Amino acid sequence: FPGPFTDVVTTNLKLRNPSDRKVCFKVKTTAPRRYCVRPNSGIIDPGSSVIVSVMLQPFDYDPNEKSKHKFMVQTTYAPPNITDMEAVWKEAKPDELMDSKLRCVFEMPNENDKLNDIDASKPAPVLSTSKQDGPMPKSHSVSLNDTETRKLVEECKRLQAEIMKLTDENRHLRDEGLRLRKVAHSDKSASPTALALRDNGSNSLPSLLVVIAAIFIGFFLGKFIL
């Protein structure tokens, strides 16, 4: 029986009748729970043969343990007009019985056989025919050197300072505009035209500063991106 023994292992036993009479046969084993025999008994016609399948059930194989399992095939000439096989074996005399003993052998595949099987099951490696001629193409994003990086960082800091300065001036102008509105409301003698001119002047200055700041920021951001 070849291993591994993780599944049912089947071995066929061929019995042949070389005589000119019918022969009854019966297969016995020392480990009936470990094996399944089909057929385990029957009749063989003269000059005919029969195949007996011996199925070994899965078990944990120990290579250090020697197999003590044995089979015995008993045969005897079949009487005429046979009707009961059990009666034949009970009534048979010892000198009318013939037997053949077989010893079970367990074989595990060699390591070399396993390697050969694994190599045979692996697909053949596919060699790539495409080669890259010349250097690899450069990426679209080119890294900047340290000097340019420092310049950009300093430029960004300067722009941030300018933005903070313009924000402070804008806040100051807005506060000044609110103060002028309060003065205008409190001063009843002031004319509507003068108040309108003051409001327009106070509103136009913050808008102009915001436009200037946006122009500076757009200019430097465009330079940074390009």
Please answer whether residues 74 and 97 qualify as being in contact, where contact means their C-beta atoms are separated by less than 8 angstroms. yes
pLDDT at 29: 93
pTM value? Answer: 0.47
Angle subtended at Cα 84 by Cα 71 and Cα 76, rounded to the nearest 5 degrees: 45
**Coil, helix or strand for 5?**
coil
Considering only CA atoms, which of 31, 42, 37 is closest in space to residue 55? Answer: 37
Q: Where are the domains of the chain?
A: 9-103, 149-182
Phi first, then psi: give them for residue 2, nearest 5 degrees.
-80, 140
- Quickly state the pLDDT bin for 85 (edges 50, 70, 90): confident
Rounded Cα gap, residues 37 and 55, in angstroms: 6
Torsion of CA 89, 69, 19, 38, to 10 degrees: 70
More confident of the two residues 24 and 168: 24
What is the per-residue pLDDT across 162-203, written as a single tens digit (0 to 9) for each? 777 877 777 888 888 778 877 777 665 545 554 444 555 555
- Quickly state the pLDDT bin for 142 (edges 50, 70, 90): very low
What is the per-residue pLDDT across 101-135, written as a single tens digit (0 to 9) for each? 999 999 887 754 544 554 545 554 444 444 444 45
Quick count: other Cβ atoms within 10 Å of Cβ 98? 12
R_g (Cα) of the chain, nearest Å: 53
pLDDT at 47: 93
State the number of CA atoms in the 13 A half-sphere of 190 facing the CB. Answer: 15
Rounded Cα gap, residues 44 and 62, in angstroms: 38
The second-level CATH assignment, the architecture, of 9-103 is Sandwich (2.60)
